[in-house]
Amino acid sequence: MKISSKLSEYSKGDGNQVRNCLISILKERIVKIPKLILLFFLLGFISSSSLFAQQYINWNGYIQTRFSSDFDHTSEFSIRRAKLWVYGTVPKANFITYKIQLNYRSFKDESLMFQDAFAELNFHSWGKVRAGRFVPDFMLQRMQPDYKIPVLERAEVVNSLIHNEKQMARETGLTYFIQDDTLPLHFSLGVFNADVDKAVHSKNNYLLYTSRLVYKIIHNKNIWFNVGGSAAYRRLDKTTLTTIYKPDSIISGNDFRWGLEGQFHWNNLEVQGEFIQAQINHDIASGYYGLANYTFSKKYQAVILTEKYNDLNPATNDNAWYGLGFNYLYKGNTKLMSDFKTQQAGIKTNYLVEIQLQVFFN
């Protein structure tokens, strides 16, 4: 039956019949729809469906369209991220919340995948438990949403030393959190699958253990200062670590990672930095970053940054990057961002310029 015939058949029915018709059409045609078109179709479908207008279900999404150039080998446009997620509370059990997130990107490689799929049990002052697939609570900048940070990309040391770079940092497991406005600290303890090659399955009895502790030294309305640290351990069993070693390296043994973090806010000025280290058996990879941003006239944001990452791959350049950025904050989380970075490479200097339009929905 043609699509037009199906729609005509249900045109006089109620909203549920029309929605069922659309779902039937989608199932028949889904393999023929390019991934990006499918993402936008889902976005339009969710926004028009009365089901998502209920009080228990909410949705958000955004698109980051980026232009980047190194003035030498590559200049290109890309979709850095196109995310869509639903979240809310369980009816008649409002202490249980959930989130499911879909992400498309053409940056580095093209992929469409479910990133987050988890539920949380909230116990008020006793904390909360999160179970499912999500980013382990390890490292400050990795826990900050990418649409809120003042730079286009997280620091290389953060992206490289997260435990599952192959699945956009997601792991399957659970975490217990203690975070309350009446307490001057944040604490978490998590356990996850340790096999990074297949994040949703475990090929052995090894698990990944993570913990993070942050203490609020100063916490007032216009000024606050936090310090903290993270730690994680797992046992590796013939695993590839492509952001630390050469891509063809197979690693077994102990994997211990830790980091220190600091964050300062005063009126329109924000400063933060981290030092992170991974000790794989007797090998050490480490790095740091520091960035500061100042917002003026509530619309404009100037950024200065530096970062350095020392990996265990002799083919990569471990010299520090230095950069400047400028952002135009249009409304809410919709903004136009830009930065310019430079790195010394022997007698040559590497340059990277990036411009990104971030459009936030709902």
Q: pLDDT of 215-266, one tens digit each?
A: 999 988 899 999 999 999 999 988 889 999 999 999 999 999 999 999 999 9
Query: pLDDT-based confidence at 21, cuts 50/70/90?
Result: low
Contact 138, 192 (CB under 8 A): no
Whole-angstrom Cα distance, residue 357 to residue 44?
A: 21
pLDDT tens-place string over residues 36-48 = 555 555 555 555 5
Beta bridge partners of 134: 171
Q: Which residue has the tokens 């904390």?
A: 127
What domains does the chain contain, in order, with CATH numbers? 58-361 (2.40.160.10)
Query: For 314-331, what is each residue's pLDDT tens digit?
Result: 999 999 999 999 999 999
pLDDT at 26 over 60: no
Inform me whether the pLDDT recorded for 32 exceeds 60.
no
Per-residue pLDDT, averaged over 287-297, amounts to 97
How many beta carbons lie within 10 A of that of residue 229, not counting itself? 19
